[in-house]
């Protein structure tokens, strides 16, 4: 029998990731209007668009994976969950360090 706390925490993390992904994707319209009025080069503007939508898609995919893991907790180990949780967090830290 699997304890309910790990299952609840994974389901809650999936819910937060899904809500965050949808909120992030819904702000894409504002990014498009910002880029239309900015003086960024087309390469940088297109890169921002790709990274913006990629971040939303990654969070939505991770939400689905965490939901599946919460439904069948016995099918994975703690190490896999830790590795999955590193995915979106490390690229944000990398972007902050590189672009300062």
Instruction: State which residues form the domain around 47.
Output: 4-98
Identify which of 61, 60, 34 has the alpha carbon closest to the alpha carbon of residue 45: 34
The label of the residue with tokens 């937060």 reads 16
CB 48 within 8 A of CB 35: yes
pTM, entire model? 0.76
Look at residues 10, 15, 17, 22 and name the one whose alpha carbon lies nearest to residue 82.
10
Domain count, the chain: 1
Scanning the structure block, which residue is given the tokens 């994976």? 65
Written as tens digits, the pLDDT of the chain (100 aa) is 568 888 898 899 999 999 999 998 999 999 999 999 989 898 988 988 988 888 889 889 989 998 998 888 777 887 888 777 776 555 555 555 555 4
């Amino acid at each position: 029998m699997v304890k309910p706390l790990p299952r609840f925490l994974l389901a809650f993390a999936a819910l937060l990731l899904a809500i965050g992904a949808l909120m992030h994707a819904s702000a894409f319209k504002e990014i498009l209007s910002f880029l239309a009025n900015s003086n960024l080069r087309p390469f940088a503007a297109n890169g921002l668009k790709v990274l913006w939508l990629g971040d939303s898609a990654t969070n939505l995919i991770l939400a689905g994976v965490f939901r599946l893991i919460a439904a069948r907790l016995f099918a994975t180990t703690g190490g896999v969950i830790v590795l999955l949780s590193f995915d979106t967090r490390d690229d944000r830290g990398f972007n902050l360090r590189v672009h300062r």
